[in-house]
Amino acid sequence: MKDRLRPLEPDFWRAPSAHNTQPWTLTYTDDGAEVGWDPSRALPISDPTGRDLRLSLGAFVECCLIVCADAGLSVGFRPDPGPRRVGVLYAAAQPYRTPFTTADVRARGANRGEYHPGRLPDPLVAELTGMRRLACRDLADLLHAADLHQFGDREVTRELRAWLRLTRRHRRYLLDGLTDRALSLSRAEAIGLRASLALYPALRPLGLPRVLAGASRDLLDYDGDVLVLVGAVEDELELGRVLMRHWLTLSAHGYATHPLSQIIDCEPTRRTLADRLGVADPRTLLHVARVGRPASPATPSSRLRP
């Protein structure tokens, strides 16, 4: 299996992950490949429960199965939790059944730029199992409060800064993390953000978190949609696979997504969002993203070279 899967790894790696950390690992065995993760690529501060980690591993599994099927390979996945492992890719009797292709995996991507006004068609939303829809403007207050919380927390901000690549001179600019281009920042905006974060300890008491949070104050001030994935916490790996299929479905219809996970990373805004959705357990809010037709194409996120 190793010889057949190795050439496909660059497309496996197109799976999404928080901060573009690409935490997954593939360890080949005699009869398969173990899917695991690299703890140095987890986010212990901003993702202490491992929610985003498990969702990204599920998305990675789905990418692997889609790409293998498109290549004519009969590969399946079997959950098999263990130390730093979630399951195994194995030789199956037939290829994975999926409507998606490697081209779809390559075409999908996050877009943090401007979106055209407009709501998603109801029939399309109905296809997205487990998703709840809200109007963008209905979440503008929660996004601002969550950004204030994020930038007000020294450790969360430090962890974010470690994954930012705001200049092309950064040694990992073409490998991982969030680049200035992926964040849709102008050169002046990237320079300003770099300087602000470099001076964070001194500027934090002077109101820097409020300034940084203000940058997204108008992000949801338009007629658009935000989708929230709701599901059982114990099913996060499988729901990561579901989320990947939803993103590919949206991408096929010309829509892009912009993760807004900070809303559910902040406990007060998470509880408020659960109340607005009529969800009893806030922990079951697993992912938040605005969705729409982008005004311009995004620069593909950097990827490691497996």
So what's the pLDDT on residue 241?
98
Alpha carbons within 13 angstroms on the beta-carbon side of residue 166 total 19
Q: Are 60 and 24 in contact (CB under 8 A)?
A: yes
What percentage of the chain carries pLDDT values higher than 90?
96
pLDDT digits (tens, 9 = 90+) for 22-37: 999 999 998 899 999 9
Percent of the chain past pLDDT 70, that is, above it, reads: 100
Mean pLDDT of the residues in the chain = 96
Does residue 233 carry a pLDDT above 90?
yes
pLDDT in tens, 157-182: 999 999 999 999 999 999 999 999 99
Average pLDDT over residues 129-153: 97
The string of DSSP codes covering 39-90 is GGGS-TTT-TT-HHHHHHHHHHHHHHHHHHHHTT--EEEEEEEETTEEEEEE
Report residue 57's pLDDT band, with 50, 70 and 90 as the boundaries: very high
Q: What per-residue confidence (pLDDT) applies to 31? A: 87
Q: Bridge-partner residues for 46, per DSSP? A: none
pLDDT band at 1 (very low <50, low <70, confident <90, very high): confident
Q: What is the pLDDT of residue 215?
A: 87
Pair 223, 138: CB distance under 8 Å: no
31 by DSSP, 3-state: which?
coil
The predicted structure's pLDDT at residue 176: 97
Give yes or no for residue 306 having a pLDDT over 80: no
